[in-house]
Structure 1
Amino acid sequence: MPEIFKSRFKESLRIKLLIGLFTVALIVLMFPKAESLEFEVLEGSVWINDDLIAPFSFPILKAPEVYRAEIQNAKKSVYPVFSKNQLQVDIIIDSFKVYSNYLIGTFDKTLANPADTIVNPTFLSYNSYNLFYNIYNQQKSKRSISALKLDIILLKASESLIAVYKTGVIETLPAENVRDSIAVRTGNIDVIEPIKKYHSINKAKSEFRNNLQNLGYSAELESAIVEFADHFIIPNITYNAEFTNDEILQSQNEVSKYAGIVNESERIIAKHERVTKDAKLKIDSFRSAKGEKYQEQGSSSQLFGKFLHIASLITLLTIYFYNFRKKIFYDNVKLLVFGLMFIFISLVTHLINRVVVPAPLQFLIFVPAASMILTIIFDSRVGFYSTVIISLITAALRGNDYSFAVMNLFAGALAVYTVRDIKNRSQIFRSFFFILVGYSVGVVAFGLERFASFNTIMIELAFSSTNAIISPVLTYGLLIFFEKLFNITTDLTLLELSNFDRPLLRDLARKAPGTFNHSMTMGTVAEAAAEKVGANTLLARVGAYYHDIGKLISPQNFVENQLSENNIHEDVAPEESVEIIKKHVNEGIKLGRQYNLPGEVIDFIPMHHGTMVIKYFYEKAKEKYDDDKIDVEEYKYTGPIPDSKETAIVMLADGCESAVRSIEDPDQEKIENVVDNIFTDRIDNGQLSNSPLTLSDIDRIKDSFKNILIGQHHKRIRYPNQNEIEKGIDDELDE
């Protein structure tokens, strides 16, 4: 996206309003439907309002857990429905007889065309097939010493099979529907019968074998017949899931949602009366009935009320940003972070509201995670005030639940406290204990206040513990998501980058020690100045550390890294030296991207030079060439110029630190003159015109630089016009 469009998006008032309206509208849509939101009561609390009199008759809704239990009982009362299929039995017996004839026909063909090897084309095992074949062969050759005839054997087997199916073979019930009795449906009539009345598959096979034993067959022949018949023993009484589900649905539909009725003008609860379980049912039922009664005629007004409710909360935070955090107020990307966070927490609240289970799932709304993320991305005050707003929004979505708001506020505030001065990502996980303490105090306080049972308090504490465990994990993951998606550089990231064990800084110290020392000194100077003008001190310091990483590619090309007196630029034309010097900017940007440095840190690499002229080589060129052959633009850095307080401070620090380091026999007067000259030169060249620094800011930065640099100076090579610079003449060298 071009920079101009990025700038317009970040600062556009229309985008700002759209973010606000979109956030409010989505949250409003997550409010409970058809419900009056004027009060929320807890069992055990005291009704402090006037007597609540029913303005109209309404039914009393059963407690959700009671209704669910009755629904489950209705399901359990339904017997699994089975379909009895006599046609299936006829098909099975006919199939048995047809296959018997096929088997005998196969044997006839084999006997008519004898071969050395008997081929078995059936599903029978080799032994069973050979046994049947031998019996049939003896039968046909009239050499049988017994009265066994295969056709008679198979006929007797079919009769035994018919006897089994007279009882019926039932399909195995699904595990979740195992019952002692079933409903057997024949036509439109269901008959409740014990399941043991019918044969299971295994029992049917066992019964078939028992029938064969009465015929006096050998064990080998019995096994062959059983193997043959097993392929035809299948259930004729089958479980019908569709019929069963229809019966369950009908049974559940007959369960009433109501436990009674409150008549018009009947008192629901008296003032100062304790809210019992029955009273709470009546109050909740009245609230629901009132919402449904006035939904059509008053839905638009209620919707507008919800909109004003949420808009007021969002506006409070916006006013805070406008007065105390203008950087956030004027940056739509940062406002979008807040909008998405509010929507995310509201969505979790909405989804949990829709889950009806006898458990305090509201404690799985991860408000502390939002508190920590916003604190790490911005600061602790922003995190705390955002926690207040988020707690009020979640309470609103739960029917203006005051106690829930207080518990979230307490837990969220403690979560903010744990990460207010975070130094590394693992520190996020120490918030577990504080979040748990916050919720525990709230749960115990409100539990004792409303006479909650010990079991209720312990269950709520268990769910609070789950929140305390998950919130840090969620924070860890979402923080990375927000950093990548919105290109946000948090102080946590900057702290990690300031570690000297980072690969780039370690390489800089080893390969370019002069540049490294210069960068470290600049970091100290820039950080102190940033503090004076309210800039981000950490960003200024880290920007100074990484501003010259491009010199890692060819450190010997820069004088501060040349250990010998030989300077490669002495044997190179000025225009070539300029290209060598300018190249380190592009190399630095490439390295920054390669090592995934944040965009805000990479900006320091080109901006600390701006569009300044590289005067040392420009002056050499003027000495070597005629003026008409020199294009000053070729001796300038390509920019851009600084666009923030931090990049402007680093530009000034770079020029001042470099120039002061090169002073021979430095004293206070010389250093002050050099600093004044550098500042004047940068201002006159328009290098600070895009930065938000004011004249008073510049004076404070200048004073800060002077105080630090007077005690920090190192020998550097003498530059052209150095004597004039030290006397206060407007000239300066920039490399």
Structure 2
Amino acid sequence: MIFSRKSQKQRTEDNRKRRLGTRREATVKPRVDMAMVKRFFLYLGFGLVAVFLCFYGLSSAGPLVQEGQVSRIRITAEIPFSYVSEIETSKRMEAVRQKVAPVFLLNLEPYRNFRSYMERLGEDLDAFAKVPENTPEDLARLQVAEVEAFLAEYAAGNPFSLRPNDLATLHNQLGGERLRASIGEGLIVLGEIFRKGVYPADTAFNIGTGERLSLFTVEDEFGNIQEVQILSEEEGLRTLRIQLAALDIPRESTIALFRILRSALRPNLIFDSERTQDRVLAAQESLKPTIIEIPEGQSIIEPNSRVNALQYEQLEAYRKALRQSEAGDFGLNALFYERALLTLLLVMGAVFFLKTSRHKVRHNPRIFSLSGILILCNLGLIRLVIELGDSVLAESTPILVQLLPFLVPVILGPMIITILVGAGPGILAAGLVSTLNAMMQGNSLSVLLLSQLVCLVAIAYCRNIQLRASLVRAGSISGATMAIGALLFGLRDNLPLTMVLYQILASVGTGVISGVLIVGILPILENLFKYTTDITLLELTDFNHPLLRKMQLEAPGSYHHSLMVANLAENAAAAIGANPLVCRVCALFHDIGKMIKPEYFVENQRSGQNPHIERNPSMSALVIKSHVKEGVQMAKDYRLPKVIMDVIQQHHGTSLIQYFYYKALQQQKEEGVIESIYPNAPRIELNQVNEDTYRYEGPIPQFMESALVMLADSVEAASRSLKKVNPQSVEELVEKIFMARLKDGQLDATPLTFKQLIKIRENFVFTLLNMLHARVEYPDGKTENGGGNRARKRAAAANQELPPPATSGD
């Protein structure tokens, strides 16, 4: 072990100091911890803003649904309300319209034409068949052929297609006055049938219901409107047959007369749509609207049910009633208070988690503010998307309502927090955002499950991300996850295939757009909050960076030294769980200040000239220390991230520049001292050396990565002075440097543990042995007992024994 335990004397002194401090604290009156008070109000403010963004003015009717959509939540009336139901009113109006008898015009013109034709035909036929009185009966009978000839030559023709044998039968059996009387009686019967109204046999005159109506409103020839029972053609023929059978004429004459009159029987009703509509409107105007009363607590929509037209109408009326009732109390109803309380409890749980987990967010107001702002902005975007469901756009585009759950960008905040802060806070943010999103969408468990799953997938794919293109990839994968959820939910709800396809496209599009937005937002957040992501750090590892290119040309030794330090620090960081990329980038830039005066640092002295020889130790120490301030200034000029500036300031801490400090002590010793003329008085030293002059201004390392760069810088610089490279010498060197830094208090502000320091030491030893390994010596063609090779070895050994004038790690 390289770290020995405290001695008994040291433990005794520590206990004494602790007891003295406890007594002093007991005598001092307790003070209010202002930092704790500030944090309390900060957490409370975050919770109140989240409540305002998520639930202020949000309808308690849950998410807007469309007719035919499956509702996954129960919507219950929180307040009693009433509304005029257009659906029920329309049903009643339709029923009234069905009950209103249609109006028909009675057309008697066909009957009049037939009656005048028959009267004239009867007279003409009687005149045609007239014979002398003494003509035998068999000769007086009218023959069918004669009737055919008569009709063929008849001026009025035969428009009703009368049969000659029927006319012959009537004339032969009845003849004269009796014939005209029988035709007249038949016409009277036919007229009565026409006046009742006849409609076609294949038409039922239905008005919307599909059922035949027997009572109709008929306007007669005099303009009178009355409700009568009309007849079909079949019923008219039946009535005609029955009435003619009652005449006192032979059966053959009855049949012949029926066939003649039947040819004239045809529909004579004309539907009057205008008058019918007027009667319908008059009846509907007298109908009062249907008012539906919904008591408090009545269920409007049941879960897992498809919303019908009447439920959708009730839901719309409920939303309107809520807006009117909430206008007076600003929406502060019971549901709002329940959601607000639950939100505050969630925030308290998150704070308690951070406190117990001792995460850096709890101690860093900047990180907490960044995380809180990201969560609130994400919740604001979610609320904005949800509000689209109540906008005019949703009314004109009904499909938008069913797409809203898949258009919500739930991954924005958790992904950015994961990239900037870490996976733990990102998962915590995902839980908050997903839960509040589900509460905003009607406490939907499906929304909660899908949102949480999508966020976890996004966090898994953006941990330790180093390429901006990978952000779009992570967003796309999370969108694909949501698309799978949309497919499963669509199959569960039996949604149309087209709607499922739209939801899948919306899910994928939301994921891709979220990834693109994060790519654009990250640089802005890095500049505003002075935070550096691994993506930016990876971009800074490009050796074509202007500072690194300049360093290669002006201070090549320091550049090579920085590369070695970067390798040491990066490997050690990976071993203890620190950020290897931060260590590598900061190590590459930690000595950029040496470019101002590169010749003052031993690794850049190639001409054999050492400018420190001409200067006193204090001046040399001032030049050596100045590379820290100059490096910070160069980092500011080139807009390097703050973490690099911090490492530049801290990579030497307040350590001692030993070479020049001991050189100054040697000079002081050579100059001597003056003894006091007074007995027992102290000696007066000439040119007394002030140790602070030879110490860096610090501060000491404040975080793991800074401490790793400090240790790697010291170890790499000291390793160049090793005379012999083997595991033992390297281990002794590393242990010596670690113990010196510990005793000097340079690691007191870092969270490194002894266990981690042991791992760092072992990793440094392994890496240094690989970096400083010896190569096989190749023969140069001289074989005189290897004399040339041995001479070169002795010269190399002699050169290694020369002490270095100054190193950057001193």
**Shift in Å, 1:662:** 0.8
Q: Within the alignment, does 1:689 sit opposite 2:712 as a pair? A: no
Q: Within the alignment, does 1:424 sit opposite 2:470 as a pair? A: no
Task: Decide whether aligned partners of structure 1 residues 300 and 27 sit closer, same or farther in structure 2, where only a CA change above 3 A counts.
Answer: same
- Residue 709 of structure 2 is matched in structure 1 by 650
- Residue 636 of structure 1 is matched in structure 2 by 695
1:480 counterpart (495, 513, 523): 523
- Residue 581 of structure 1 is matched in structure 2 by 624
The aligned runs of 1:32-431 (5 Å cut-off) are: 32-33=56-57, 35-36=59-60, 43-45=68-70, 56-59=80-83, 261-264=292-295, 268=300, 274-283=306-315, 285-286=317-318, 289=321, 299=332, 301-324=334-357, 326-355=359-388, 356=391, 357-358=393-394, 359=400, 360-361=403-404, 363-431=406-474
Whether the aligned pair in 2 keeps the contact of 1:19 and 1:335 (CA below 8 Å) is: no
The aligned runs of 1:526-537 (5 Å cut-off) are: 526-537=569-580
Task: Decide whether aligned partners of structure 1 residues 506 and 348 sit closer, same or farther in structure 2, where only a CA change above 3 A counts.
Answer: same
- Residue 551 of structure 1 is matched in structure 2 by 594
CA distance in structure 2 between the aligned counterparts of 1:306 and 1:650, rounded to whole angstroms: 49
Whether the aligned pair in 2 keeps the contact of 1:489 and 1:600 (CA below 8 Å) is: yes
**Shift in Å, 1:287:** 6.6
**Shift in Å, 1:459:** 4.0
The aligned runs of 1:433-582 (5 Å cut-off) are: 433-582=476-625
- Residue 19 of structure 1 is matched in structure 2 by 42
CA distance in structure 1 between the aligned counterparts of 2:453 and 2:759, rounded to whole angstroms: 40
Q: Secondary structure at the match of 2:718?
A: helix
RMSD over equivalenced CA pairs, Å? 3.6
Whether the aligned pair in 2 keeps the contact of 1:414 and 1:434 (CA below 8 Å) is: yes
CA distance in structure 1 between the aligned counterparts of 2:646 and 2:331, rounded to whole angstroms: 55
Q: Within the alignment, does 1:670 sit opposite 2:729 as a pair? A: yes
Task: Decide whether aligned partners of structure 1 residues 386 and 39 sit closer, same or farther in structure 2, where only a CA change above 3 A counts.
Answer: same
Gaps of 5+ in 1: 1-10, 64-257, 723-731
- Residue 650 of structure 2 is matched in structure 1 by 607
Aligned residues: 521
Whether the aligned pair in 2 keeps the contact of 1:373 and 1:479 (CA below 8 Å) is: yes
Whether the aligned pair in 2 keeps the contact of 1:661 and 1:716 (CA below 8 Å) is: no
Whether the aligned pair in 1 keeps the contact of 2:71 and 2:302 (CA below 8 Å) is: no
**Shift in Å, 1:434:** 1.9
CA distance in structure 2 between the aligned counterparts of 1:391 and 1:596, rounded to whole angstroms: 37
Task: Decide whether aligned partners of structure 1 residues 320 and 538 sit closer, same or farther in structure 2, where only a CA change above 3 A counts.
Answer: farther
- Residue 131 of structure 1 is matched in structure 2 by none
Q: Secondary structure at the match of 1:443?
A: helix
CA distance in structure 2 between the aligned counterparts of 1:467 and 1:616, rounded to whole angstroms: 62
Whether the aligned pair in 2 keeps the contact of 1:345 and 1:394 (CA below 8 Å) is: no
CA distance in structure 2 between the aligned counterparts of 1:468 and 1:446, rounded to whole angstroms: 18
Greater C-alpha Rg: 2
**Shift in Å, 1:648:** 1.7
Q: Which amino acid aligns with 2:772?
A: H
Q: Which amino acid aligns with 1:327?
A: K
Higher mean C-alpha displacement, 280-289 vs 685-694: 280-289
CA distance in structure 2 between the aligned counterparts of 1:378 and 1:420, rounded to whole angstroms: 10
**Residues 477-524 of structure 1: CA deviation (Å, up to 9, x unaligned):** 221121111111212222222232322223323332221222222122
**Residues 160-193 of structure 1: CA deviation (Å, up to 9, x unaligned):** xxxxxxxxxxxxxxxxxxxxxxxxxxxxxxxxxx
- Residue 200 of structure 1 is matched in structure 2 by none
Q: Which amino acid aligns with 2:70?
A: S
Higher mean C-alpha displacement, 272-281 vs 554-563: 272-281
Higher mean C-alpha displacement, 389-398 vs 320-329: 320-329
**Shift in Å, 1:559:** 0.8
**Shift in Å, 1:593:** 0.9
**Shift in Å, 1:574:** 2.2
Higher mean C-alpha displacement, 493-502 vs 634-643: 493-502
Whether the aligned pair in 2 keeps the contact of 1:375 and 1:383 (CA below 8 Å) is: yes
Q: Which amino acid aligns with 1:59?
A: Y
CA distance in structure 2 between the aligned counterparts of 1:62 and 1:586, rounded to whole angstroms: 79
Q: Which amino acid aligns with 1:678?
A: I
- Residue 52 of structure 2 is matched in structure 1 by 29
- Residue 3 of structure 1 is matched in structure 2 by none
Task: Decide whether aligned partners of structure 1 residues 297 and 527 sit closer, same or farther in structure 2, where only a CA change above 3 A counts.
Answer: closer
**Residues 118-153 of structure 1: CA deviation (Å, up to 9, x unaligned):** xxxxxxxxxxxxxxxxxxxxxxxxxxxxxxxxxxxx
CA distance in structure 1 between the aligned counterparts of 2:368 and 2:661, rounded to whole angstroms: 46
Q: Which amino acid aligns with 1:628?
A: L
Task: Decide whether aligned partners of structure 1 residues 446 and 583 sit closer, same or farther in structure 2, where only a CA change above 3 A counts.
Answer: same
**Shift in Å, 1:25:** 0.9
Whether the aligned pair in 1 keeps the contact of 2:73 and 2:442 (CA below 8 Å) is: no
The aligned runs of 1:697-708 (5 Å cut-off) are: 697-708=756-767
Q: Secondary structure at the match of 2:83?
A: strand
- Residue 202 of structure 1 is matched in structure 2 by none
Q: Which amino acid aligns with 2:343?
A: I
**Residues 663-696 of structure 1: CA deviation (Å, up to 9, x unaligned):** 1123322222222221222222222222222333
Q: Which amino acid aligns with 1:349?
A: I
Q: Secondary structure at the match of 1:58?
A: strand
Q: Secondary structure at the match of 2:57?
A: coil
Task: Decide whether aligned partners of structure 1 residues 28 and 556 sit closer, same or farther in structure 2, where only a CA change above 3 A counts.
Answer: same
CA distance in structure 2 between the aligned counterparts of 1:62 and 1:393, rounded to whole angstroms: 36
Q: TM-score, normalised by structure 2?
A: 0.58
CA distance in structure 1 between the aligned counterparts of 2:83 and 2:753, rounded to whole angstroms: 69
CA distance in structure 1 between the aligned counterparts of 2:622 and 2:809, rounded to whole angstroms: 14
- Residue 182 of structure 1 is matched in structure 2 by none
Higher mean C-alpha displacement, 326-335 vs 416-425: 416-425
Q: Secondary structure at the match of 1:446?
A: helix
**Shift in Å, 1:340:** 0.8
CA distance in structure 2 between the aligned counterparts of 1:485 and 1:716, rounded to whole angstroms: 51
Whether the aligned pair in 2 keeps the contact of 1:388 and 1:409 (CA below 8 Å) is: yes
Whether the aligned pair in 2 keeps the contact of 1:52 and 1:269 (CA below 8 Å) is: yes
Q: Which amino acid aligns with 1:389?
A: L
Q: Secondary structure at the match of 1:603?
A: helix
Q: Secondary structure at the match of 2:292?
A: strand
**Shift in Å, 1:704:** 2.7
**Shift in Å, 1:548:** 0.8
- Residue 208 of structure 1 is matched in structure 2 by none
